[in-house]
Amino acid sequence: MEGSTEGTEPDSHSISLQPLTPQHTGGEASTIVSPTQTHYDGASDVDGKTMRSRSTSRQNLDEDTLRSAPVGKGGEEDQANVPRPAVDLTQDEGIDSGPFPFKPYQLASLVDPKNLDLLREFGGVRGLLKGLGTHRKRGLSAKALGKTVDTSQHASSAPHAQGDGRPGAGDEPGAGQGASQRHDRSPETGAGDVPKLVVTGPGGEDGGGAPIDATASRDDLDEEDGPTYEANLEERRRVFGDNTLPTRKTKSLLQLMWLALKDKVLVLLSIAAIVSLALGFFQDFGTPRPAGEPPVDWVEGVAIMVAILIVVMVGSINDWQKERQFQTLNEKKEERGVKVIRNGVEMVIDIKEVVVGDVALVEPGEIVPCDGVFLSGHNVKCDESGATGESDAIKKVSYEECVKNGPEGEGAGGGDSMKHTDCFMISGSKVLEGYGSYVVIAVGTKSFNGRIMMALRGDTENTPLQIKLNNLAELIAKLGSAAGLILFSALMIRFFVQLGTHNPDRTPSQWGIAFVQILIISVTLIVVAVPEGLPLAVTLALAFATKRMTKENLLVRVLGSCETMANASVICTDKTGTLTQNVMTVVAGSVGIHCKFVHRLQDNMARTNAEEEPGVKDTGARKHAQDFSIDQEQLNDTLSPALRDLFNQAIAINSTAFEDTEPETGKKVFVGSKTETALLNFAKENGWSDYKETRESADIVQMIPFSSERKAMGVVVRLPGGGFRLYLKGASEILTRICNRHVVVERGSSDKELQTREIDDLARDNITRTIIFYANQTLRTIALCYRDFDSWPPPGVQAETEDEVPYADIAHDLTLIAITGIEDPLRPGVREAVADCHKAGVTVKMCTGDNVLTARSIALQCGIYTAGGIIMEGPIFRQLERQDLLEVVPRLQVLARSSPEDKKLLVETLRSLGEIVGVTGDGTNDGPALKTADVGFSMGIAGTEVAKEASDIILMDDNFASIVKAIMWGRCVNDAVRKFLQFQISTNVTAVIITFVSAVASVEEESVLSAVQLLWINIIMDTFAALALATDPATPQLLDRKPDKKTAPLFSVDMYKQIIGQSAYQTTITLIFHFLGAQILGQHHSGDSATQKHNDAIVQTLVFNIFVFAQIFNSVNSRRLDNHLNIFAGITKNYYFMGITLIEVAVQVLIVFVGGAAFQVTRIGGREWGIALALGFVSIPLGALIRCIPNGPVERFFIKTRLLPNPEVLPTTRPEAEWNSAIQLVRDNLNTFSHVRGGRMRASSYVGKSRNARIAPEARVALPSIMTMVPTLIASSIGAGWAPQSPSGLSNPAQFDPSKSSAALWEGKIQIHPETKPDDPIMQRWGNIAKRT
């Protein structure tokens, strides 16, 4: 029932409010103004008092206002869930703190983790302010600012002041919405005509607060004496740092090109190009040439260089463009104004100018720019889910409140009321509601957000495909060199034999040229063996895919992540905002007690409890026979106009949320508490009267603000026809108890007047049943009620004024309008996307900071939680021993209440099991897991800068369905590379064999194909084939197969079959026609040298033609990698392929007819063309024949010949498991690695390189050195209370974790899906301690 008791507070398990602010854009002032005078954002008191005047806004709000607030102990309860190392204070050692008693990292450790005790040691807020030399109301003094201030002209008091800091008064927006006041000030006060300073704190109104010198607060009398108060801004920046992060230098185009050139394949190609060019020049210009033969041997070297240049340019320009796109995405988040108080003047300064000691102001929608300690304010609630993963709204109260109402305090609000309440502001968190001020304690790289940003900066690893291709390049280089060496040796043996026998007879210079010729042919062989087109194919495929992916809302930051995604076997996804819409929505409800409406009823039949059997006539035998279900769209046809108006007024008038334009999208959205925005959206979807008109037309008499005690809020309005009406909304189980009537809704009652009926026992049972039904589906239930009065204040009620009537005197005898069930619904298409993932062999695991009930509900809805699956909570998961972890992780489907470390542990474990892991994340806390994963997805809309910085691909629409597209395109890239390899390697093998054989057989060491012919074949093989095969578009059929393992070989059995079959065929026909071509064509040896030369040229041309057409037809054959016979599938959609094939044929015909001397070809007749085309075409039926050969026997043969590796067994033990954490501590302290490389970096609590991270094996302390300390270790460990752990990690799952999470609801601490078979190994292992629900 947790979901139903939250009333209209900001949601407890939920979703961060989108920042509807231009805070990152700089420029125009706020677009948000008070929508109406009845709007009262900050006006409600926390202690339950009602508002005196509806136009009052945030008057005199300092910490004294909140003294009676119902709060308890400081710090979140769940902080204990995540035991994190504190900030490494050794970093303070080298810093001279000057006049300040505090050092930067010492201050940073206040919020990481939140530490009220440390703040107490500092002397509380008073000690902190004194130590930082600032004042809680006036901020930094004139001395600190280094100028004399004339308060009547305060615009000149600081160079950054723009006007008076009010909305529209300056050019820059403030933090958050750009305005600290939501209501207009007195109209007679212009922006340039500012009266004597009256700003007293976090947003006092003009005329509402006393001038600074008249403020009688005890804190205002503090003497501003001492060196800290005189420390200027420069000194503060020197000690505590700037509020900037060192900009990550983006690589220039030249640097990117240089990096691209370092690719192993390109290095190999460059060497080949230089050698080929040198030998080409020697052949062309260093040796005498036969008459009429053009010098074209140098072209091969130039062509390889052109190929290298294309690859480098395409790759680096693509990377450069992607980097620019990413920068553009973040640019709008760079500039931002922050509202601070300096010398008592409220002003907007640039975010980079904020210093430690500044008193900054917060307001709804703002993203907190620095770490700080809250000073005073009103009803401030922050969403820290982006920073810490805590999904509940965290209430901010002053330090004094925290101490007073803490566990040991005397306040009545101790205990649980302090849950989710503290006095620490964390950078990167969002302000949901309220106004206040805080003192800045950490900026830039020292702040919580900054430390994580810095920790995530690192170089990317090679992707699985890159590693395999590098290995292939090395292998080809070795084999090509070996073939070249063998050829060189064979030809040199013959050379020495000829030299010894003087046969043929040559001059010394001719012998020299013969030797160089041998060298040339050997190097040519190596050049032919190198697949020049391989890097081009990869680059083109990636470039093509990323362009298409950008259209599909996927911004690829790291090109390689594209192909990594192809074989992703697990996706760990967030719930909020990725699977769900991150917008609370009314998804079901009951108007009156009988009319049950459901959003999209057809898809969500389980959301109604009307117990109707579809298609069965109602017999009236049901307990609640009058209950009926309708789709939400039918509400207007079912409800009478009077009831519709009543329902709409209950929503619109009794609300503080308002509509505004979101700067980033330009869409109209509601701003305010998530529950209220859900109801307003509901009314808007139904087409009811505009909320603003309804609200403005209401004559409001009294407002009853929300309070956590009564879990309700209300408003009293004067009715146009006389009388008064109270509207209430809040937690359904509380309000329905004080209702004694309900509105009547029956089928066909839309034309009737508004009717009400008394709530009898049957109706009461129906209401209770409905609330429990919704709560079991983790819907938050809100009841809307009303009550009419003849006069106000009501007779017999004691009230000082008409807007001060006590709540208890009027909150009874209510009439129930409706109960609404509110939830963050699934995004459209998520169910289908998860099903597609399962079809593609990709497991989806949900990691969420939310409670187990909500997580389970969403997992069931979208199909993640299936038979055989396990649900576990973070606190239990992180305590599992390694063996248990390896058993649980493959079956784990939902990880609830998880911390960032849990998510990271899950990713690391999956990777150690050989899985390729994709992770989605939108919050700062997701950074480490995104960086650890093979592919990190961040959210383009809701994602924080940290998440985007750590990710590889940005989902521009924040939609899980886009991840399926990423898998599809990734597989498309992988397939493109493999298609190209299948084509290229078969061509390479053929070219190497025929060059080798013909060179050995030729007396003059001449190859069957000339250098220029080889160049054209290389262009076909490389550039054209790469372009043709790399541009096949992605199709949904790509999801019909399972992903490959990381260790899977680059060549599959099908590819090997095609490569061997096609190479054998091409080699055979080429060599047959090379040696026997004249006989086949019926040509006889002629004594006439000219005729003989012409005949030889015809044979040479025919061989060249056969080889080229064999390649062209084989490129069509290579469009399929599997055993299916249809190689033409989708060919009509790939215009590149069709166009390139036609160009290849046309150019080949052109070469034969006009190529002449350059290509060493001659014109041939129709018979020769027919032979060439026919033999080329045979590649296609041959490919079909090869596909019919069964894979099994071939695979066994390949494994025996080591062409394919043996399938690997998964690891089951961890070799470096520890028996005692003391050893780990000692090793960590002794380990050179931790001190020399990044010891400080790992001290940050959220960095993925914590001291518990696995240390590089070579850096381990040798075992003998540990053994010498064993006696001492054991003695000290036992003395400290250590005992060996029991073998089962779940025997004491909480171990050292004192947190009380909702895991306590489940006796077994682990849930297994109820449909799991009893003989399933997971049931045998965990069944006895698991709860099957």
The owner of tokens 């474990």 is 909
Q: β-strands 658-661, 424-425: how paired?
A: unpaired
Distance in angstroms (rounded) separating the CA atoms of residues 1116 and 857: 49
Instruction: Find how far residue 581's CA is from the centre of its chain.
Output: 15
Is residue 627 classed as helix, strand or coil in its secondary structure? coil
Cα separations (Å) of 1136 from 546, 1027, 1032, 1033, 1150?
Answer: 17, 7, 8, 11, 21
Amino acid (one-letter) located at 1170? G
Nearest to 949 by CA among 558, 364, 638: 558
Q: Tell me: cis bond preceding 113? Omega within 30 of 0 counts.
A: yes
Nearest to 449 by CA among 498, 537, 386: 386
In the set 112, 371, 574, 1054, the catalytic residue is: 574
Nearest to 1110 by CA among 1077, 1045, 1065, 1075: 1065
Q: Tell me: cis bond preceding 290? Omega within 30 of 0 counts.
A: no
The two three-digit tokens of residue 1020, written as one number: 């076909």
Structural contact between residues 630 and 596, judged by C-beta atoms closer than 8 angstroms: yes
Structural contact between residues 849 and 385, judged by C-beta atoms closer than 8 angstroms: yes
Instruction: Find how far residue 771's CA is from the centre of its chain.
Output: 36
Distance in angstroms (rounded) separating the CA atoms of residues 659 and 818: 24
Supply the DSSP symbol for 263. Answer: S
For the question of residue 222 being annotated catalytic, the response is no
Cα separations (Å) of 365 from 17, 283, 432, 857, 1110?
Answer: 8, 74, 6, 29, 65
> CB neighbours of 386 closer than 8 A, spacing ≥ 6?
16, 428, 429, 430, 922, 923, 924, 925, 944
Structural contact between residues 587 and 607, judged by C-beta atoms closer than 8 angstroms: yes
Angle, in degrees to the nearest 10, between helices 1135-1150 and 1089-1117: 180
Structural contact between residues 906 and 845, judged by C-beta atoms closer than 8 angstroms: yes
Cα separations (Å) of 305 from 143, 270, 275, 276, 532?
Answer: 66, 7, 11, 10, 10
Structural contact between residues 903 and 572, judged by C-beta atoms closer than 8 angstroms: yes
Distance in angstroms (rounded) separating the CA atoms of residues 1220 and 1215: 15
Nearest to 1127 by CA among 1078, 1054, 1226: 1054
Structural contact between residues 360 and 426, judged by C-beta atoms closer than 8 angstroms: no
Nearest to 639 by CA among 904, 373, 818, 784: 818
Neighbours of 1284 (CB within 10 A): 8
Secondary structure (DSSP) of 916-941: -EEEEE-SGGGHHHHHHSSEEEEETT
Structural contact between residues 1039 and 566, judged by C-beta atoms closer than 8 angstroms: no
Nearest to 1191 by CA among 1202, 1180, 1199: 1199
Distance in angstroms (rounded) separating the CA atoms of residues 196 and 198: 6
Q: Which residues are identified as catalytic?
A: 574
